[in-house]
Amino acid sequence: MKLIIDDADVKAIRRIWDYYPCAGVTTNPSILAKSGRPPFEVLREIRAIIGPDAQLHAQVIAREADGMVKDAERIVRELGDNTYVKVPSLPEGFKAMKALHAKGIKITATAIYTPMQGYLAGMCGAQYAAPYVNRIDNMGYDGIKVACEIHEIYKKNDIPCEVLAASFKNSQQVLELCKYGIGAATVACSVIDNFVKNAAIDEAVEAFIHDFEGLTAKGTTMSSC
């Protein structure tokens, strides 16, 4: 399962990118709005941080298919070939996905709440489909189950699309999908930080350092002893 950052906070993205094995960054209009900066200015800065070979996902805004295609073409023109255009999974979006697939533009189908949306997006040529795990949970359904069902639909129907699960509130949700082996999960920087935020881990490392310095001298490491 690929790990992707879901954020538009450039400082946070840079920090997470330095430390963790991430495959790219996803954004959405609401995340970009929080930056308070022009959208393409932020997206170009993210592209500069992650480089040309990493995935960058950015969303169309137009309501109708023709406008979505124009938005997509601008997004790819600004941000490079390894950019995935996020298109909402509704009728106009499916129409746009078919047109974008014919043009060879990479697609991430977004705003997915049901397996049937995922199926249609895959059949329209999307490379990724993004079910909103925690939002589905908040509606009284099982977001993990929906993501896994979409994954199984793709496998059993030989649809060349992967699940890109989104909308997480905790690391346990991410872990469940990791164990299942879905294609990717896009996770906020704050949740990624919590993957290894554990007092027991910190205490164990500090104990090792304390014991080693007791053997040698304070501030000594393996390279200096």
User: Beta partners for 132?
Assistant: 166
Longest CA pairwise span in the chain (Å): 70
- pLDDT string in tens for the chain (225-residue length): 999 999 999 999 999 999 999 999 999 999 999 999 999 999 999 999 999 999 999 999 999 999 999 999 999 999 999 999 999 999 999 999 999 999 999 999 999 999 999 999 999 999 999 999 999 999 999 999 999 999 999 999 999 999 999 999 999 999 999 999 999 999 999 999 999 988 899 999 999 999 898 999 999 999 998
Judge: domain 2-197, CATH 3.60.21.10: no
Catalytic residue among 86, 106, 155, 156: 86
Q: Residue 11 catalytic?
A: no
CB 18 within 8 A of CB 35: no
